[in-house]
Amino acid sequence: MLDFQKEFIQFAIARNVLRFGEFKTKAGRLSPYFFNSGLFNDGDSLRLLGEFYAKAILAAAIPFNILFGPAYKGIPLVSSIAIALSNMGYNYPYCFNRKEIKDHGEGGFIVGATLSGKVLIVDDVISAGTSVHQSVDLINANNASPAGVVIALDRMERGTGQFSAVQEVNQKFGIPVTSIVSLNNLIEYLRNDNSLHHHLNAIECYLNQYGVN
């Protein structure tokens, strides 16, 4: 686990974004942890979140030339990531979409830079892959090409079939998906944290039951 990954887990726990207990998922499973990126909801949190994404992007070394954030969660994400990358010496254009087309002013679906070239999609997590599918369709419709996806957490959890949502995106669109951290990173962290070690067994059992490699 890289230093920034450990720091991100600590950050998520401190902001109560990552919690432990018993939580019911959309799939009806009882999960021993819950990740809610919507609780990164102040200026300092958003600044730090953008920096963690930027470090993950640079570590993944995915070739791209523009950042795209799908509405709505992707809008503050892509903005903070672009700023963080700029502060690190990497100045990339960014854009995001509207949910409904604007019929006055500049019009259109896209706000920000022109959607062109190799596009890196940013999101918080991939559950059913719907947001990525819509983003890829929009990118293709603008004669651009999806370069990859970056998310905060890879749950490494099976969807409706034998593959995880991340694996399904990778296979369906042929693009890499990288994350700041994965569930394996969280397990590694818990193994070395005495104050949270008691949560380890439940998460390992959950991964064994619902997870994928």
Residue 73 a catalytic site member: no
The predicted structure's pLDDT at residue 194? 95
Q: Which domains does the chain have, with CATH numbers?
A: 3-210 (3.40.50.2020)
* Reported pTM: 0.93
Rounded Cα–Cα distance for residues 213 and 201 (Å): 18
pLDDT grade for 109, boundaries at 50, 70 and 90? confident
Which entry of 6, 24, 99, 102 is annotated as an active-site residue? 102
**Residues 141-146, mean pLDDT to the nearest whole number:** 96
pLDDT grade for 129, boundaries at 50, 70 and 90? low
The answer to whether 30 touches 23, Cβ cutoff 8 Å, is yes
**Residues 188-213, mean pLDDT to the nearest whole number:** 94
pLDDT grade for 159, boundaries at 50, 70 and 90? confident
pLDDT grade for 7, boundaries at 50, 70 and 90? very high
The predicted structure's pLDDT at residue 128? 65
What lies within 8 Å, CB to CB, of 91 at 6+ separation is: 85
Residue 103: half-sphere exposure toward Cβ, Cα within 13 Å? 1
pLDDT grade for 165, boundaries at 50, 70 and 90? confident
Q: Which of 174, 180, 130 is nearest to 26 (CA)?
A: 130
Which entry of 26, 55, 104, 198 is annotated as an active-site residue? 104
**Residues 27-35, mean pLDDT to the nearest whole number:** 92
DSSP 142: T
The predicted-structure confidence for 37-56, as pLDDT tens digits, reads as follows 999 999 999 999 999 999 99
pLDDT grade for 142, boundaries at 50, 70 and 90? very high
Question: How would you classify the pairing of strands 30-35 and 118-122?
Answer: unpaired
Rounded Cα–Cα distance for residues 166 and 183 (Å): 12
